[in-house]
Amino acid sequence: MPAVSKGDGMRGLAVFISDIRNCKSKEAEIKRINKELANIRSKFKGDKALDGYSKKKYVCKLLFIFLLGHDIDFGHMEAVNLLSSNKYTEKQIGYLFISVLVNSNSELIRLINNAIKNDLASRNPTFMCLALHCIANVGSREMGEAFAADIPRILVAGDSMDSVKQSAALCLLRLYKASPDLVPMGEWTARVVHLLNDQHMGVVTAAVSLITCLCKKNPDDFKTCISLAVSRLSRIVSSASTDLQDYTYYFVPAPWLSVKLLRLLQCYPPPEDAAVKGRLVECLETVLNKAQEPPKSKKVQHSNAKNAILFETISLIIHYDSEPNLLVRACNQLGQFLQHRETNLRYLALESMCTLASSEFSHEAVKTHIDTVINALKTERDVSVRQRAADLLYAMCDRSNAKQIVSEMLRYLETADYAIREEIVLKVAILAEKYAVDYSWYVDTILNLIRIAGDYVSEEVWYRVLQIVTNRDDVQGYAAKTVFEALQAPACHENMVKVGGYILGEFGNLIAGDPRSSPPVQFSLLHSKFHLCSVATRALLLSTYIKFINLFPETKATIQGVLRAGSQLRNADVELQQRAVEYLTLSSVASTDVLATVLEEMPPFPERESSILAKLKRKKGPGAGSALDDGRRDPSSNDVNGGVEPTPSTVSTPSPSADLLGLRAAPPPAAPPATSGAGNLLVDVFSDGPAAQPGLGPTPEEAFLSELEPPAPESPMALLADPAPAADPGPEDIGPPIPEADELLNKFVCKNNGVLFENQLLQIGVKSEFRQNLGRMYLFYGNKTSVQFQNFSPTVVHPGDLQTQLAVQTKRVAAQVDGGAQVQQVLNIECLRDFLTPPLLSVRFRYGGAPQSLTLKLPVTINKFFQPTEMAAQDFFQRWKQLSLPQQEAQKIFKANHPMDAEVTKAKLLGFGSALLDNVDPNPENFVGAGIIQTKALQVGCLLRLEPNAQAQMYRLTLRTSKEPVSRHLCELLAQQF
């Protein structure tokens, strides 16, 4: 091997890299990079033709810069030129640049395609490989159109070199995945399968990937690959063949190819042909046998390679799920790994065993390892290994060991990592329900769950326990007694209060005979928790109280007293207030009979799949789309958020899609009036409908949160790099704004550019852009006369408190403006906190000796610092509900001043700055938007809803933000736009 000098003799590259390494700060690094980019750009643009060496050097530099996270926006053309070079070195650099830096929708694709076409036709295998690699890397549709027909031919041609075939196989795979319609199935497909027989292992390795993909899409067309794959595998595993060339890795024959072949076989059920099947079983047994043999090498690489094959073999055995003997052997093998000192093997063994546990043949064998797994749950130092152990316990659980497993998991829960608590809670809840022999055990388990990990008990879990208790009358008395006891704890979790409140409200009468839990005791116990609870829980408790009035008439006076208290009847929360008022009236107006009918015991819930199971499935299900593409967070961490989110108020607040005014809202669902309609409502709350489950919202949640993070600190520096001291005369020096100033301002609420003011002397144009809490505005002052303006001085004034709310830095402009000329003034604006009045712009000058002055309102309104936020319907509703305090909402009903055109309205709302959310409002005529006002001090989340009424030519506009003045101000601003 040649000794390779550092940087391959490219001194310039070495110097550049050392420079970057020596940079003390990010700024210095960026400066150095910009300098280098300028240098390379000038070299590329220069007249002098660059030699191969220089080109190579510059491309390497660009690659390095790209690696540091800087986008490269030039050099593509040079790279494309390199493609047509005849020198391998230059061509290679060109292809490298393109495969790293060009994405599939580049405009250069056509030029690149041309070069590829030439190279493919060159019959020079190295050139062909480069071209094929390039297609495999870029793989755009246009490339597919150009080459999809050629590649299969190259792949199966008898005279193609091995390396070309390898590249062609993966290239075809890429095109097939990207645009399957472009790859015609044809006679080549039969021959592709035969590549499994190719004498060259590299070709087989490449071909297996392609064939696996083809098999998944058209299993029937490629069935023939089974026997070929088996025979290939058999030859490798038995090391009988001499064609292993140098593919033996630390005494393990072709480990990666073996793994791929075993994967390929997992596309199909066990082979039907007895001979093939026999041969395959023999292979699998050989692999299992070899695992027991003493290693041929002490090197860890040897055992790693061997174990890779072993795990894949076990996967195949599990996939077939038809050979009891093999399944049990696989289980024993994994059992050995459970105690291995390598964490990697323990992890993989637990993972594999989890799938093994669901097979009827090996379930019992897996169960024998229960103690080891429980031990792993307790002692493993790696959370992901512990998580696997918990998964395995869940998978191996059945009636025989449920009590042991549930109690171990409960014990583990006390110390479990926060990241996996919710999942453990769900699992325990499911196991307890599934394997409950007596339901008192179930109730105990769930209450234990709430006690140990109340924060992680999602609403599905406690909904479910209520469903079960309601449906099984044998456990109701026990449940009432147990919750009553649990509530005696001085500090109990709010979820316990909810469960307790509901159960006592329904079944408290079953324990009322005992003087220790007499009705007044029950009531005072519940009411002692009342003040510490959230609105949702308090609403639920109010319903419990009215049920108490029905169950225990002796508590009526006390409870009416509570309902009548000012803190209930005049509660700031509409829902609580409404319940208090309605229940109080109900209890005094209705006769005992009516009350008994209205507050009858809840009917049994319809049997349905446990909503907990559905939730666990969602957690486990693969995330929609790739996390790489959209930067979504993983489902598990998302669920953790879901778990600790403020208790959703769905239970108590009217459905958000109903009338937002709430007056005609549906009756509170947790109150159980006996009318059939209301009964259904309760069922709805407990069902999986989206509205009933806020907090389970998928990932947009995350995006919304991340948007709330303060902007990166660099941005203000960049935008406000050259501040000029603001010449800021006191507000007393300037006159009041001109009468039409407000009207002019309104024109700019939904747009950023335009003519702000015009008279016969002067025209003022505005161009502005805003990002986060920063803005830059260009004012253009045009002298419309032919005479020079003198002492021209435009200044910005902050009336009142504005000084502390908005920072505006202006640059001075020339004092003279020639006739017909235009001067430009730049304003840098920073929003410090929310503000209501815009700054004033005062312009003074002398025209023909006469002083002129003019004061305008600068078109900077709070909505300019709006960041649109996209969110899903349920997130929107959840947030909408969270902003339910009366002062957080502003509403205006007003007559349309302009024709009511949906498209225009849309444009205006977008111009206003909010995101428009589709499919949120049940009425498609309505507009719903969301965004965040970015200021330096704080962010204000805003939700808005505009309901046009075409018949009446009216609008109703509702805004909810977390700050009262902002809601009102935005509402006023926006209402004037329609």
Residue numbering of the annotated binding site: 11-12, 43, 53, 57-61
Q: How many CA atoms lie within 13 A of 328 on its CB side?
A: 6
Q: Which of 54, 81, 85, 126 binds another protein (CB under 8 A)?
A: 126
List 915's β-bridge partners, or say none: 930
Q: Nearer Cβ to another protein, position 133 or 472? A: 133
Alpha helices in 621-772 (DSSP H): 627-630, 635-644, 676-686, 700-707, 714-719, 741-747
Binding footprint of another protein, residue count (CB under 8 A): 91
Task: Report residue 258 as tokens.
Answer: 């073996």
DSSP letter string over 231-261?
HHHHHHHTT--STTTT-EETTEESHHHHHHH
Distance between CA 673 and CA 678 in Å, rounded? 6
Query: Binding pattern to another protein, positions 259-298, x when CB under 8 A?
Result: xx--x-----------------------------------
Count of Cβ atoms closer than 10 Å to residue 648 Cβ:
24
Q: Nearer Cβ to another protein, position 6 or 399? A: 6
Distance between CA 612 and CA 154 in Å, rounded? 54
Q: What residues numbered 438-497 form the site for another protein, per CB under 8 A?
A: none
Q: Nearer Cβ to another protein, position 106 or 926? A: 106
Q: What residues numbered 3-62 form the site for another protein, per CB under 8 A?
A: 3-4, 6-8, 10, 13-14, 17, 56, 59-60
Q: What residues numbered 881-910 form the site for another protein, per CB under 8 A?
A: none
Three-state SS annotation for 89-147:
HHHHHHHHHHHHHCCCCCCCHHHHHHHHHHHHHCCCHHHHHHHHHHHHHHCCHHHHHHH
Q: Which of 36, 119, 312, 701 binds another protein (CB under 8 A)?
A: 312
Q: Nearer Cβ to another protein, position 301 or 887? A: 301
Q: How many CA atoms lie within 13 A of 850 on its CB side?
A: 4
Q: What angle do CA 127, 151, 246 make, to 5 degrees?
A: 65
Is residue 195 near another protein by the rule CB under 8 A? Answer: no
Burial (CB count within 10 angstroms: exposed 0-12, middle 13-18, buried 19+), residue 923: exposed
Distance between CA 636 and CA 627 in Å, rounded? 13
Closest distance between another protein and the C-beta of residue 396, in Å? 21
Q: Nearer Cβ to another protein, position 254 or 479? A: 254
Is residue 721 near another protein by the rule CB under 8 A? Answer: no
Q: What residues numbered 204-243 form the site for another protein, per CB under 8 A?
A: 205-206, 209
Nearest to 696 by CA among 910, 530, 877, 919: 877
Closest distance between another protein and the C-beta of residue 375, in Å? 16
Closest distance between another protein and the C-beta of residue 100, in Å? 7
Closest distance between another protein and the C-beta of residue 700, in Å? 16
Closest distance between another protein and the C-beta of residue 504, in Å? 42
Is residue 642 near another protein by the rule CB under 8 A? Answer: no
Q: Nearer Cβ to another protein, position 256 or 780? A: 256
Q: Which of 166, 470, 869, 874 binds another protein (CB under 8 A)?
A: 166
- The answer to whether 675 and 853 are in contact (CB under 8 A) is no
Q: Which of 51, 282, 514, 634 binds another protein (CB under 8 A)?
A: 634
Query: Binding pattern to another protein, positions 794-833, x when CB under 8 A?
Result: ----------------------------------------
Closest distance between another protein and the C-beta of residue 334, in Å? 13
Q: Nearer Cβ to another protein, position 472 or 619? A: 619
Closest distance between another protein and the C-beta of residue 169, in Å? 8
Is residue 588 near another protein by the rule CB under 8 A? Answer: no
Closest distance between another protein and the C-beta of residue 635, in Å? 7
Assign 912 to helix, strand or coil. helix
Q: What angle do CA 746, 752, 753 make, to 5 degrees?
A: 100
Q: Which of 106, 163, 448, 785 binds another protein (CB under 8 A)?
A: 163
How far from the centroid of its chain's Cα atoms is residue 405's Cα? 33
Q: Which of 115, 120, 173, 261 binds another protein (CB under 8 A)?
A: 173
Closest distance between another protein and the C-beta of residue 712, in Å? 12
Q: Which of 113, 160, 167, 977 binds another protein (CB under 8 A)?
A: 167
Q: What residues numbered 314-353 form the site for another protein, per CB under 8 A?
A: 315, 343-344, 346-348
Q: What residues numbered 76-115 form the site for another protein, per CB under 8 A?
A: 87-89, 92-93, 96, 99-100, 103-104
Radius of gyration of the chain (CA): 37
Is residue 418 near another protein by the rule CB under 8 A? Answer: no
DSSP letter string over 610-634?
-HHHHHHHHHHSPPSS-HHHH-PPP
Q: Which of 64, 251, 441, 778 binds another protein (CB under 8 A)?
A: 64
Closest distance between another protein and the C-beta of residue 289, in Å? 19
Closest distance between another protein and the C-beta of residue 202, in Å? 5
Count of Cβ atoms closer than 10 Å to residue 343 Cβ:
13
Q: What residues numbered 365-384 form the site for another protein, per CB under 8 A?
A: 381-382, 384
Q: Which of 631, 646, 723, 820 binds another protein (CB under 8 A)?
A: 631
Is residue 136 near another protein by the rule CB under 8 A? Answer: yes
Q: Which of 118, 122, 289, 301 binds another protein (CB under 8 A)?
A: 301
Q: Nearer Cβ to another protein, position 514 or 634? A: 634
Q: What angle do CA 817, 823, 828 make, to 5 degrees?
A: 135
Closest distance between another protein and the C-beta of residue 627, in Å? 3
Q: Which of 626, 657, 791, 887 binds another protein (CB under 8 A)?
A: 626
Task: Report residue 327 as tokens.
Answer: 């399944």
List 830's β-bridge partners, or say none: 774, 807
Closest distance between another protein and the C-beta of residue 181, in Å? 19
- The answer to whether 923 and 947 are in contact (CB under 8 A) is yes
Closest distance between another protein and the C-beta of residue 6, in Å? 5
Q: Nearer Cβ to another protein, position 100 or 738? A: 100
Is residue 926 near another protein by the rule CB under 8 A? Answer: no
Q: Nearer Cβ to another protein, position 163 or 888? A: 163
Task: Report residue 428 as tokens.
Answer: 């325990």
Q: What residues numbered 595-624 form the site for another protein, per CB under 8 A?
A: 622-623
Is residue 73 near another protein by the rule CB under 8 A? Answer: no
DSSP state of 46: S
Closest distance between another protein and the C-beta of residue 107, in Å? 16
Is residue 390 near another protein by the rule CB under 8 A? Answer: no
DSSP letter string over 259-314?
HHHHHHHTTSPSPSSHHHHHHHHHHHHHHHHHHHSPPS-SSHHHHHHHHHHHHHHH
3-state helix, strand, coil in the chain (%, to 5): 55, 10, 30
What b-and-e string marks burial along 131-166, b requiring 16 or more CB atoms within 10 Å of the CB?
Answer: bbbbbbbbbbbbbbebbbebbbebbbeeebbebbbb
Q: Nearer Cβ to another protein, position 336 or 804? A: 336
DSSP state of 424: H
> Helices 473-487 and 439-453 meet at what angle, rounded to 10?
30
Is residue 304 near another protein by the rule CB under 8 A? Answer: yes
Is residue 709 near another protein by the rule CB under 8 A? Answer: no
Q: Nearer Cβ to another protein, position 495 or 699? A: 699
Name residue, tokens 């292993």: 244
Q: Nearer Cβ to another protein, position 353 or 940? A: 353
Burial (CB count within 10 angstroms: exposed 0-12, middle 13-18, buried 19+), residue 260: buried
Task: Give, in order, the Cα–Cα distances in Å from 197 to each of 39, 227, 228, 351, 702.
Answer: 53, 11, 7, 33, 50
